[in-house]
Structure 1
Amino acid sequence: MKGEPGNEQGPREAGEDERGPWGLAAVALVAGLLQVLASVALGMARADDFEAASSESSAIYLLAAALVTAGVFAIYLVRERPAIALTLGTVWPLGMFFGLRKHATVLGLAFHGEFILHHLAAILAFALAVMVPLRWARDEQLGPAWQRMGPAALAVPGAALLLVGHLSTLLQPPPPGSEAGLAQALSLGGQPWITELGAGLLIAAWPLAVGLFWTRLGPAERRPIALILLAPMVVRLATAGVHGLSGALVAPAAVPWLGATMVVASVLTLGLLRPRLDRWVTAVVGIICLFGSMLFYYFYEHGFGELEDGLGGLLQSLFGFQVPYPPYTDDLRSAALMLGLFFMFVTVYTALVSTEDRSRGLSLGLMLIAGLGLSSPHLALMVGAGALLFIETLLPGAPHRELGAWNGWGGSPKVPEWVKLEEIDDEEDREAEGAGFAPNEADLRGTLEGLSERLAAAAPIAAEDDAGSTILVRDHLGDTPFELRARVPRRSPADVRVELTVGLPGRSEAAFELVPDTSERGPRPAHLLARSHRVIGDPRQLEAFGDEALDALTPFPTAYLRAWEAGAQVELGAELSRLRVDSLEALVRCLARALRD
């Protein structure tokens, strides 16, 4: 099989962690969302209520933040004991609520919480903007050293300058007529040059990484998304000039161009990404996003004049231009912009809900919350971190990278670029691609440890006897039990056998079987696996099983599947060159979902 450049990665070293600091990104996204909600609450508050909240002491809210942090950390420590974690997650918030409710107000929480979240999001975004390119610099799969170091050479100093600019806002500027202090030293000719330089370097790392790693980005249909997302930022900076890097607004005459770019980018991103979700879930998410977009449009048309003073700044930081009053804008343009928001919301929401595309949703969510305004250093950090994280999701080793976009909206299912099923029976191509490759025991143990961590399952159990060694992962995925057993014979270590059992296999004859067979005889599935497998049993049962599980089988062209009403068994066969955490996780999740449905 001829693979796409950049997809020919081998097994990971034992114990190597999976790519991407997604846990940190999730915390940053939650912090950003809470900050937006706090800003909305403050923007809609009456002036006297706002003044009362600002006069409250911050001590009680700092205590609440410390208690929340301690609670989250404690729950994380006992995450492998669900009963204790659930009890702690219930009792801790209730205790905080009843203990602090007489000493705090909702608006005071929004005022002081927004301040805390503002700095927390900045620090987390800085960590992400530095961590991701430095990981690339150490990853030899991505090319020679000069190529790997390119994004880090721009992103790291850019993020550092933005952090300096962010921290400088904590210092009070010197009074008029006083000696120049740090706040004046950070400006040149009245312009915040440190912020502009930092934002410019960090954002420049975005297209540089795309260009340097283009052949390694995958799957191929998702490559253009990284450039499509860049288009609104390019138009925003081209129309606002260099000072747009520090929050300068786009001129009113250029707003239609920026708005049109945002709408087109949103539609194309959703069309190319197509997060993997069941149709009914996609429909529910679409209805929720449609309702939210219509509500947003209603408030803009009927209440923007009353809310503009409080929410105008928030909208400017999102769009990068001053939102005009409804009487001064064309209804068609307003509706088109709301349509763009709808597609953005649907893309991010569906990706976050999807198990396979959640990492893409996290990166897109950071970019959506930060917006195009670049009105503060921490927003520039969030945009840059989100962009680098999205590129990370397209690089080898990213979660569920091989699955590609879901084609559940019609048409035949797509197979990843590196799977050329028509060439499975070509002996030379199979040898060139590593057919018959068998991982050693250390690699196998590391892969199963990574799988158990990814699925939040029990740690692998290893046992040895005279015949060889066995590594076992056994747990539940929701209500569905699964067991993955890997056997390494002592006399012939290359004859590794990996078997996956999901659900409760029956003792009777299987409803259907998928048997590896590259000939043209026998019934075939209505899937590209037809070139490598034939069906034994009732083909209608296979159709009810769905295409998602068949997509997850594509990395294993010699797999043998047997399915019953409540369970399935898969022997992965001799071709294990694609045996990695991502492919195993996708197979377990897709089989469990197919059995539940």
Structure 2
Amino acid sequence: MRAAREGPTIYLLAAAALALGAGVVVWQRRRPLLVCVALALPGLLVAALLVRFGGSLLGLAYHGELLLHHFLAVLCAAACVAVTIGWAVDPGLGRLRLLPAVPAVAGAALLLAEHLSRAPDSPVGLFGQVGTASLLLAAPLALAALWSHLQPLALRWGALVLLVPLTVRTALGGKSVLSGMPLGTEGAAPVLVTTGVAALLGVALMRPRAERGLHGAALALSAVACFTLHRGYTQRFGDLEAAVGQLARSLLGFELPYPGYLPGWRIVGGMMALFVVFALTTTSLLSRRDHVRGLCLAILLCAGLGLSTPQLVLMTGAGLLLAFDTVAGAPAPAPRVVAPPRPIEAIVGEAAGLLGLPAPTVLEQQRGAVIALRGEVERVAVDLRARQDRGAWHIVLQAGVLGRGAPDVELVPGGAGDEPHPLVAGHRARGEARRLERLPESFLLALAPFPDHRTRVWPGGCQVELGDRLDALDAAALAAVLRGMSEAT
């Protein structure tokens, strides 16, 4: 009551000073770090002085929470509008790109108006109900309108998976969803099962990869959170219900059933579903590649499925639309198999002429042709085998004498989240990485046009599989690889 009597004026001024300082820093963000810190200090100092001499820490906690509450609602509404308007002005997203803009903008405006005019603990009014229906409709419309422009294919289906728990929650709630009413205890099982299955599919489709050493930490944090929830739910349900029962209903979207009425396996199954959700979100947040998508998942996790207030509906809509935006308009992935620009027989024949080797042998078989080339390049025996299987060519080159054991070093194509070796861009080195330093530079440069090559090096020889992407294969490139292999042996 003491904090409420202070009024919000001082804290609004402090928030304005902080916002002004943050705006200056964003405006000058390209300057050195120390300069940005110096630009932020005046706003921070003014805000601290206002709170110190015109307010109190108690008032800051009371009114600051309300300010952050309103700021989050305004920020999510702005995100919904900005994302859909960005789609609308991008001609590369097709003719249907305008479809989600109208319900998203209208829903965000109505929900923001309801949020700012609604008294605490009062039921959701007409503006909020219409805005909820409009914003919830914008997400599936956006998915349908941008479906063919969501890349890659796995993340396209992953975006669809994000809608499944919300769809089940809305279908079970019916019209009561618009007013934020939670489901009964009978809604716990379908909501948790759907959420767990969607999270498992999300792990399989999104494949978040945390940085080295952080993946185990993400799983450990998720396990600790679920273990704490399990103990609190089964052993201290009364205290839990009294303390955070309303928050749990707001996040989960259903009334918590009494644990004594449930078999143990159902409780464990619900906790496992929550564990998968926590693990997917935490791993994505800790991933350098997927942290933006992880932030969207964190917004959806914090908003939950309750849809009990306009702010939570705005958070849900912003999380979904931002998640779709992370995969909208991305270039289509390169094809895994790319045929050479010319017939292989002609390319191998010309390469043999450039290296002074005998003409290759071509054998026609039922499943495709087989091409063999043998000879010596700079006194090193080389061997080429090209085999056609179902329209795709598999080309293997050998030089020198291959060892019977494991190679000294092996180059394999790296994944999206891997850090490539500095000497071989896009590839990872297995084995003795220092062995790469003794390979001639001409050999590594000759392999560069083949991004999917696999190279194995022994003390007396080496082997190269050119991979499936052969769009850069010609006589000169093939001759350069064979010459480089002879120099590396």
TM range (shorter): 0.5 to 0.7
Confirm or deny that 1:333 pairs with 2:266: yes
Aligned 8 A contact 2:182 2:250 in 1? no
Alpha-carbon offset, residue 390 of structure 1: 1.1
SS in 2 for 1:423: coil
For the 8 Å contact 1:60–1:104, the answer to whether it is kept is no
Structure 2 match to 1:256? 189
**Contact 1:560–1:570 (8 Å) recurs in 2:** no
Q: CA deviation at 1:215?
A: 2.2
Say whether residues 1:65 and 2:37 are aligned partners. Answer: no
Query: How is 1:371-382 mapped onto 2 (pairs within 5 angstroms)?
Result: 371-382=304-315
Q: Is residue 210–residue 287 contact of structure 2 (8 Å, CA) maintained in 1?
A: yes
Tell me, yes or no, if the aligned pair for 2:76 and 2:315 is still in contact at 8 Å.
Answer: yes
Contact 1:421 1:531 in 2 (8 A): no
Secondary structure, in 3 states, of the residue corresponding to 1:250?
coil
1:36-67 CA distance string (max 9 Å, x none): xxxxxxxxxxxxxxx55555543443344334
Partner of 1:104: 56
TM-score (norm 1): 0.56
The root-mean-square deviation of aligned C-alpha atoms, in Å, is 4.3
Which of the pair has the greater relative contact order for Cα pairs under 8 Å at 6+ separation? 1
Question: Offset of 1:552 from its aligned partner?
Answer: 8.9
Cα distance change on mapping 1:560 and 1:280 into 2, 3 Å? closer
In structure 1, distance between residues paired with 2:417 and 2:267: 43
Task: Find 2:221's aligned residue among 265, 268, 288.
Answer: 288
Residue aligning to 2:74: 123
Q: What are the residue-to-residue correspondences of 1:292-371 with 2, within 5 Å?
A: 292-371=225-304
User: Distance between the aligned counterparts of 2:192 and 2:320, measured in 1?
Assistant: 20
Runs (5+) with no aligned partner, structure 1: 1-50, 174-182, 184-189, 403-416, 429-518, 523-529, 577-597
Matches of 1:264 and 1:302, distance apart in 2? 27
Say whether residues 1:159 and 2:108 are aligned partners: yes
Q: Which runs of structure 2 are paired with 1:417-432 in the superposition (5 Å)?
A: 418-426=333-341
Contact (CA 8 Å) 2:414, 2:426: kept in 1 or not? no
Distance 2:165 2:184 in 1: 15
- The offset of 1:536, in angstroms, is 11
Mean Cα displacement is larger for which, 87-96 or 314-323? 87-96
Query: For residue 215 of structure 1, what is the aligned residue in structure 2?
Result: 148
Deviations 1:483-516 (A, max 9, x none): xxxxxxxxxxxxxxxxxxxxxxxxxxxxxxxxxx
The CA deviation at 1:286 is 1.1
Q: Kindly tell me: are residues 72 and 336 of structure 1, through their superposed partners in 2, closer, same or farther at Cα, counting changes over 3 Å?
A: farther
Q: CA deviation at 1:351?
A: 1.4
Higher-Rg member (1/2)? 2
2:152 partner amino acid? P
Is the Cα contact below 8 Å between 1:196 and 1:243 reproduced in 2? no
Given that 1:216 and 1:396 are in contact with CA atoms closer than 8 Å, whether structure 2 keeps it comes out as: yes
Distance in 1, matches of 2:207 and 2:427, equals: 27
Q: Is residue 247 of structure 1 aligned with residue 199 of structure 2?
A: no
Residue of structure 1 aligned with 2:324, choices 376, 379, 391? 391
Aligned to 1:510: none
Amino acid in the other structure paired with 2:8 = S
2-side partners of 1:352 and 1:214: how far apart? 25
Query: How far off its partner does 1:373 sit?
Result: 0.8
How many positions carry a matched residue from both structures?
Answer: 388
1:336 alignment partner AA: G
In the TM superposition, 1:188-203 aligns within 5 A as: 192-203=125-136
**Following the alignment from structure 2 to structure 1, what is the Cα–Cα distance between the partners of residues 445 and 20?**
43
Q: Corresponding residue for 1:169?
A: 118
- Relative distance call for 1:532 and 1:247 in structure 2 (3 A) is farther
Report if the CA contact (8 A) 1:560-1:571 is conserved: no
Structure 2 unmatched ranges of 5 or more: 344-381, 386-392, 401-405, 452-489
Change (3 A) 1:68 1:337: farther
User: Match of 1:268?
Assistant: 201
Instruction: Tell me: CA distance 1:540–1:58, structure 2 relative to 1, closer, same or farther (3 Å).
Output: farther
| Contact in 2 for aligned 1:155/1:202 (Cα 8 Å) | yes
Q: 1:535 to 1:129 in 2, by over 3 A?
A: farther
Aligned 8 A contact 1:370 1:382 in 2: yes
Alpha carbons 2:80, 2:317 under 8 Å: kept: yes
Quick one: structure 1 residues 540 and 344, their matched pair in 2 at CA, closer, same or farther if it must change by over 3 Å?
farther
8 Å CA contact 2:111, 2:310 repeated in 1 = yes
- The answer to whether the Cα contact below 8 Å between 2:413 and 2:428 also exists between their aligned partners in 1 is no
Would you say the 8 A contact 1:195–1:377 is kept in 2? yes
CA–CA distance in structure 1, aligned partners of residues 293 and 270 of structure 2? 23
TM-score (norm 2): 0.67
8 Å CA contact 1:318–1:373 kept in 2: the answer is yes
- In the TM superposition, 1:516-555 aligns within 5 A as 521=384, 541-543=409-411, 547-548=414-415
Deviation digits for residues 305-341 of structure 1 (CA, Å, limit 9, x no counterpart)? 2243342222121111122343344433333222222
The 1:92/1:261 distance shift into structure 2, 3 A limit, reads: same
